[in-house]
Amino acid sequence: MIEKSVEAKGICKRYKSFLGTGTTVLNNISLDIDVGEIFGLLGPNGSGKTTLISIFSTLIYPEQGSLSIMGLDARRDRGEIRKIINISTAKPNFPWSLTVRENLRHYGMLYGLYGSGLSRTVEDQIDAFELGDFRDLKFEDLSTGIKQRLSLAKSMLNHPRLLFLDEPTTGLDPDISIKIRALIRRIHEEENVAVVLSTHYMPEAEMLCDRIAFLRKGEVVALDTPQNLKNHLGLGERVVITYSGQADIGALGRLPGVLGLKSEIGRVEMVIDRSEDSVDRIVKLFQEAKILDINIKEPDLEDVFIELAR
Ligand SMILES: Nc1ncnc2c1ncn2[C@@H]1O[C@H](COP(=O)(O)OP(=O)(O)OP(=O)(O)O)[C@@H](O)[C@H]1O
Ligand SMILES: [Mg+2]
């Protein structure tokens, strides 16, 4: 029984430049991913997410490090690995003049399917990804959302055990993105597929991912569950109070548990540590004023991202 979908140790990748020494794009990446989890890769533009997915999916080799995918050695067993993984990327590019159905048949044949098995698998994926209405449309005539769904359908043709998704919802409308996310969750649960995905969209990572690795300049700077990332960074909660009348803003800034403060007339915004019992103390300082509104917001992954990307 394989427990790890990915076991990476000390992965380094440099892109050689024509002049000069080249640039290190990934530096000493070590991480393990369980088969049962949806694992997220987050990080600013150019932090190395796509490069890491390309390495995990055996499309490129790292210069250093060891890598095992579904218990197989990434270099020695590349052929075997490719039979049991698949990948879908943000801007899928399929043969333009083939229809949805023809494209799926084309890829199905590349995965060694033929005859009735091929037809059945293609029809199953057309159903699973709700592509029935578009089956006879050419790729070039599809909307971005349908292209993405076709790409996901293609990526399930070989019934992979491990699926790599590089920004599966980038550039899609919110309602289409919700649909795609639901499909990802469904194939993960129903088909028992391990999923490694990259995204720029924090709510997506929060909704889908069991654990997240934050990449920055080619290094893993944090790796944990979304909840732990938020808790452990000590980001605090954001409290915004709007009020009329007088409040002692100076005293507010000196309260234990108030980590940061920004004020303007009638409005004060604070970052607080709740464990210090701070809300109660804050409210007491508004006795002379009238609180019009009080808004408490927990830190979200966006805050974590901004903090870690700095
Ligand atoms: N083929 C290549 N040759 C040289 N440099 C490359 C190549 N591919 C990527 N890079 C560089 O490697 C770094 C990491 O790129 P990568 O595409 O992995 O980042 P990313 O995290 O996926 O970014 P984004 O969020 O924009 O998709 C970037 O600096 C990029 O310019
Ligand atoms: Mg990328």
Mean pLDDT of 213-240: 86
Tell me which of 50, 54, 166, 204 to substitute to probe ligand 1's pocket, judged by most ligand atoms within 8 Å of the beta carbon: 50
Regarding whether 269 and 202 lie in a shared domain, the answer is no
Ligand 1 contact via 105 beta carbon (within 6 Å)? no
Give the integer Cα–Cα distance in Å for 88 and 71. 22
Lowest mean pLDDT among 16-30, 113-127, 137-151: 16-30
Please choose, from the candidates 165, 158, 159, the residue with its C-alpha nearest in 3D space to the C-alpha of residue 181. Answer: 165
Task: Check whether residue 49 and residue 195 sit in a common domain.
Answer: yes
What is the 8-class DSSP label of residue 102? H
Q: Which two tokens stand for residue 179?
A: 């649909």
Decide which of 210, 231, 252 is a domain's last residue: 231
Residue nearest to atom 4 of ligand 1 (CA): 15
**What's the rounded Cα separation, in Å, for the pair 47 and 33?**
19
Two structure tokens written together for 57: 């999916």
Least confident of 31-40, 46-55, 167-176, 185-194: 167-176
The answer to whether the CB of 226 falls within 8 A of the CB of 250 is: no
308 located within any domain: no
Structure token digits, residue 111 = 């995965």
Nearest residue (by CA) to ligand 1, atom 3, is: 15
CATH code of 158's domain: 3.40.50.300
Q: Are residues 119 and 226 in the same domain?
A: yes
Q: Is residue 152 part of a domain?
A: yes
Closest Cα to residue 178, out of 149, 156, 150?
149
Percentage of the chain exceeding pLDDT 70 = 98
Is 271 within the bounds of a domain? yes
Q: What is the DSSP letter of 138?
A: B
Do 138 and 266 reside in the same domain of the chain? no
> Is residue 191 domain-shared with residue 220, that is, in the same domain?
yes
Query: Is pLDDT of 236 > 90?
Result: no
pTM recorded for the entire structure: 0.85
Mean pLDDT across the chain? 91
pLDDT at 22: 82
* Residue-level pLDDT at 74: 95
Q: Which of 190, 220, 196 is nearest to 28 (CA)?
A: 220
Residue 309 domain-assigned?
no
> In this predicted structure, what is the pLDDT of residue 273?
78
Last residue of a domain, which of 204, 231, 258?
Answer: 231
Distance CA 111, CA 102 (A): 14
What pLDDT sits at residue 283?
87
Question: Among residues 213, 231, 249, which one ends one of the domains?
Answer: 231
Q: Is residue 28 part of a domain?
A: yes
Are residues 255 and 211 part of one domain? no
Q: Is 51 in the pocket of ligand 1 (CB under 6 A)?
A: yes
Let me know whether 211 and 249 are in one domain.
no
> Tell me, what CATH number does 255's domain have?
3.30.70
Domain of 262, in residue numbers:
235-299
50 phi, psi to nearest 5 deg: -65, -40
CA of 53 to the centre of ligand 1 (A): 11
Higher pLDDT, 203 or 122: 122
**Ligand 1 mutation target, pool 11, 24, 49, most atoms within 8 A of CB:** 49
Tell me if 307 is assigned to some domain: no
- 215 and 148 together in one domain: yes
User: Is the CB–ligand 1 distance for residue 55 below 6 Å?
Assistant: no
pLDDT of residue 38: 97
On whether both 125 and 169 belong to a single domain, the answer is: yes
Alpha helices in 93-168 (DSSP H): 100-110, 115-128, 144-155
Question: Quick one: which H or E segment has residue 203?
Answer: helix 202-208
Token pair 């890829």: residue = 107
- Domain check: are 197 and 258 in the same one? no
Beta carbon of 48 within 6 Å of any ligand 1 atom: yes
State which residues have CB under 5 angstroms from ligand 2, the bound ion: 49-50
Q: Which helix (H) or strand (E) holds 25?
A: strand 23-34
